[in-house]
Amino acid sequence: MRLVLYRSDHCPACRRLSAELRRLCAGLGGSLEEKDVVVHLEEAAALGVTRPPAVAMNGRLLGQGSALLAKLRKLHR
């Protein structure tokens, strides 16, 4: 599993999600790459990202926004 987190440095939800994703990936043996959504704007837009935090899994947009953490927890069960 390869996850990419598109985040903003000024976003509290992004910081919470980053910490949770690091724990999740460590437990599952996956990898996490974090990208600033402004720096990687074209890449994020091509995936359909409209707001951070957003997570792509294996090159596909999994979800975005502050409700994403709850969605990821459900997938992990």
Structural domain harbouring 70: 2-76
CA dihedral sign of residues 76, 45, 18, 65:
negative
Domain of 15, CATH number, reads 3.40.30.10
- Segment 60-66 long-range contacts (CB within 8 Å, at least 24 positions apart): 62/3, 64/6, 65/13, 66/13
Task: Please list the pLDDT of the chain residue by residue as tens digits (77 residues).
Answer: 789 999 999 999 899 899 988 988 888 888 999 999 999 999 999 999 999 999 998 899 989 987 777 777 776 66
The total number of structural domains that make up the chain? 1
